[in-house]
Amino acid sequence: MLYYGSVQRFQVLLLLRSFCVDAVNKVHSRLSLFQRLSIIVGAAFLTLLGAFALVSINVVNEATGRLAEERLVMASLIAQNVDAQIELAFNELEKATNFASFDPNSPELSTEKHLLAHTYGQVGFFSSGISFLNADGKIIWIEPYSSDLIGFDLSAHRYIKDALEKGQRNVSAPFPDPRTGEGRIALTVPVKDRAGKVISLISGTT
């Protein structure tokens, strides 16, 4: 019975094939030469169009890949430049502490003020200013000078807390400028006494 069923299916397929071939031949015989040529030309055009589409897709994929690689290289170069600028800015902040004690309890802070002004002018990185803070996180002096910010408490900011508690320099997470709302980051350097205790901070904002 299985063999007989297979033979029947094969015969049905042969009949279908024969029917399709006859139908195509009948249609073909009814077409004029011009119609046949039109079909051939149309088929050739569609083939060329498909080939062109495939080539175009490959070209677009290659161009996209090259563009992605170029952007990756550019991003890497920009990141390296930013890292170099941050390191330079840190060096300038730390250099200032070599020429003054930055002790907030000192009765004379003219040297510290002069150094902050010099560093602010020397390093264009700190576009929003440089602050001198005491061990409580309050601003002692700021360049450029702004009287309304003297005594302002920054101790609630994480980057100030970390610098005071850990005694290490740090780069803050981005935060909004309280006056303009623009995004800022701060570089903060702790100042220590001879015993290694943090007595103040210098923080530059850009």
Question: Tens digit of pLDDT for each residue in 156-185?
Answer: 999 999 999 999 999 999 998 877 888 999
**What pLDDT sits at residue 180?**
82
Residue 136 lies in a domain: yes
The answer to whether residue 22 sits within a structural domain is: no
Amino acid 21: pLDDT: 56
Establish if 13 belongs to a structural domain. no
- Which DSSP string do the residues of the chain spell out, in sequence order? -HHHHHHHHHHHHHHHHHHHHHHHHHHHHHS-HHHHHHHHHHHHHHHHHHHHHHHHHHHHHHHHHHHHHHHHHHHHHHHHHHHHHHHHHHHHHHHHTTS----TT-S--HHHHHHHHHHHHH-TT-TTEEEEEETTSBEEEEES--GGGTT-B-TTSHHHHHHHHH---EEPPPEE-TTT--EE-EEEEEEE-TTS-EEEEEEEE-
Q: Quick check: is 129 in a domain? A: yes
pLDDT in tens, 12-70: 556 666 666 565 566 556 656 666 666 777 777 777 777 777 777 777 777 777 777 76
Containing domain of residue 151, as a range? 101-205
Q: Is residue 58 part of a domain?
A: no
Q: How many domains does the chain have?
A: 1
We report the CATH number of the domain holding residue 120 as 3.30.450.20
pTM of full prediction above 0.85:
no
Q: Is residue 137 part of a domain?
A: yes
pLDDT at 79 (0 to 100): 58
Domain assignment present for 153: yes
The answer to whether position 123 is within a domain reads yes
- pLDDT computed for residue 2 by the predictor: 45
pLDDT digits (tens, 9 = 90+) for 115-131: 999 999 887 888 889 99
